[in-house]
Amino acid sequence: MSGKDAYAGSILFVDLSSRTVRRENTPEDLKRKFLGGNGFAVKLAYDLIRPGVDPLGPENVLVFAVGPAAGTLIPCSSRFVVGSKSPLTGLFVDSYAGGSWGEELKCAGYDALVVTGVSPTPVYLLIDGDHVELRDAGHLWGRMVSGAQRRIAGECQIPGLAVAAIGPAGENLVRYASIIAGTRAAGRGGMGAVMGAKKLKAIAVRGQKPVFVPDQEGMWRFFHDSLRRLREHPGTGKLLPEVGTGAGVNAFNRIGMLPARNWQEEVFAGAENISGERLRDEGYFIRSKACPGCPIGCGKVASTYGVDGGPVITEGPEYETLYSFGSLLGNSDLDSIIYADRMCDELGIDTISSGVAIAFAMEAFERGILSPGDTGGIDLHFGNHRAAIDLLQDIAYRRGLGDTLAEGVKRAAEIIGRGSEKYAMHVKGMELPGHSARGLKGMALGYAVSTRGGTHQDTRPTVERSGQFDPLAVQGKGKMNKDNQDMTAVCDSLIICRYTEGIYGFFLGEDHVRMANLVTGAGYSLEDLRKVGERVYTLERLFNVREGLTRKDDRLPERFLEEPIPGGPAAGRVVLRADLDQMLDEYYTARGWDPRTGAPTEEKLRELGL
């Protein structure tokens, strides 16, 4: 540890091809300009990944990073990021997970772990402080995630060991395979497939080094103040602890913005049956679960007898799984969603992308684009939860139609053809989460311009839902997106959980400055921090521009542009092309990017020191 700030002080480089390990001091300039977490991930990825490399090839690089807040008293700061060139989008993707793994990496002495090359045989990486070694994982290849994690823990016999592993989906290079750290998923963008391509089954970490804090007294004051505010806030003090993220199902359905039947509708008649309230009230929840240092406890452990009659216990399901395996599939069978959630964690596959892929197949089946011969006899009508479970496993093992869907809906539609492209709900190749674009104009722009594709984590849907902005207004949404993204970029670099936005705000403010200075001692001003957020997000865009991305890629699915919401409280809402173009122009101008190409200008790059 550095002894002057909360950074671990080192970056660990592991080359799987040569089986070599080296350490470098974390550069001061990197800390000052990019803060940590995703800032480190995108800078290292930009410097180390050549343009045009195959995301599943040996030249791709996988970066794991933690923020300077990890291991301190700042609430909700234990998360870590995985950054790489995505096999799903071909662009830079940053994927996040909670749990204890990130703090263990930090306390082992590392701000980041950079994995390069490819192993000729399956291996897992063991990091126990200064001791780093690659171990054979041939006996683990093919195992489900939890089985591999238990086996590694048993072999290593190291108390407190945290294991991040991939499942069969990652081994089979499903383009949206996830990395499961404990029971938490770095789900988006196919980081598990990158691990699988490198023949890296797992990374096991233990750390025992203390984290230094420059201002201990100030940290205690901030901790107690934040704790009080989080407990007093209705979202983080009551709704999330009691109901979890599944509270969104009924809430969004009431306002007509719960995507259903592959986004053909945004009201779902069976919403109550799959809601967080039902999970709570009918005894599905066993207990709440929180990440280290988190007073919220949004995680829920649920149990059921599943679809096969056997007991199933899972951490979840979260809102996005209730959406992707529930309303999006026309499925109101809660037990099947809990089962699917568990299967996704065991197979190591993103619940959002897999659910959207199945919904795409169901609509293609109902429209006659796919026949029973194409589906291997699976009846893919909406609402058939058994078919969804079967197809999920086919995707993970790349069997039959599952092999096509494992490519992601963008590629799958290109393979299937026959007009199926209009039913592929993605942006830049990444499948969409469950937040309305037609009902929230700023969210529509957020989806379109997000550096990682279809995500609700760059621009937050909560900004417009908060009442601070008219969700149907077009003017001002470019600046709103830019400022919100700069905040999320800073929080993803510290790294701070999104659910703190209720008390710290949707835009950068004095709380963010206090946090940054408490852990870095760098004396950031608010303007300094805004520049950090802008620098991180602009470098993500620059990575993508280097891969060929232009303004024409900042677009939405045709359904949002051509099909108004057909019924419910939000009926008639649609994203007009002219409105999207207007918002794009405003956004590029606010960012200092060229409105014609969507690329950062030379002037902006000089301003940001890029």
pLDDT at 3: 73
Longest dimension (CA), the chain: 68
Element (DSSP H or E) covering residue 205: strand 200-206
- Write the pLDDT tens digit of every residue in 235-266: 999 999 999 999 999 999 999 999 999 999 99
In the predicted structure, residue 308 carries a pLDDT above the cut 80: no
What pLDDT sits at residue 305? 83
* pLDDT reported for residue 317: 96
Question: What is the rounded average pLDDT of the residues 37-46?
Answer: 99
DSSP states of 254-322 as a string? HTT---BTTTTBS--TTGGGGSHHHHHHTT-EEEEE--TT-SS--EEEEEE-TTTSS-EEEE---HHHH
The alpha carbon dihedral of 513, 514, 519, 521 has a sign of positive
Backbone angle region of 313, left / alpha / beta, with phi > 0 → left and psi within -120 to 50 → alpha: beta
Tokens of 34: 């990019």
**Matching residue, tokens 């893919």:** 380
What would the pLDDT profile of 134-159 be if each residue is shown by its tens digit? Answer: 999 999 999 999 999 999 999 999 99
Contacts of 176 (CB under 8 A, 6+ apart): 88, 169, 187, 188, 189, 190, 193, 349, 350, 353, 354, 357, 408, 431
The per-residue pLDDT for range 339-377, each reduced to its tens digit, is 999 999 999 999 999 999 999 999 999 999 999 999 999
The pLDDT value recorded for residue 280 is: 96
Structure tokens that stand for 337 in this block: 């969603």
Cα 318 to Cα 134: distance, rounded to the nearest angstrom = 34
Nearest by Cα to 445 from 540, 580, 552? 580
* Nearest alpha-carbon partner for 291 in 505, 461, 70: 70
CA–CA dist 564, 266 (Å, integer): 10
Decide if pLDDT at 2 tops 70.
Answer: no
pLDDT in tens, 262-272: 999 999 999 99
| Chain segment 50-106, per-residue pLDDT in tens | 999 999 999 999 999 999 999 999 999 999 999 999 999 999 999 999 999 999 999
Closest CA to 64 of 36, 89, 25, 88: 36
pTM for the whole thing? Answer: 0.97
pLDDT per residue over 444-490, tens digit each? 999 999 999 999 998 999 999 888 899 999 999 999 999 999 999 99
Domains and CATH numbers, the chain: 10-206 (3.60.9.10), 243-428 (1.10.569.10), 438-555+576-607 (1.10.599.10)
Q: What mean pLDDT comes out for the span 516-542?
A: 98
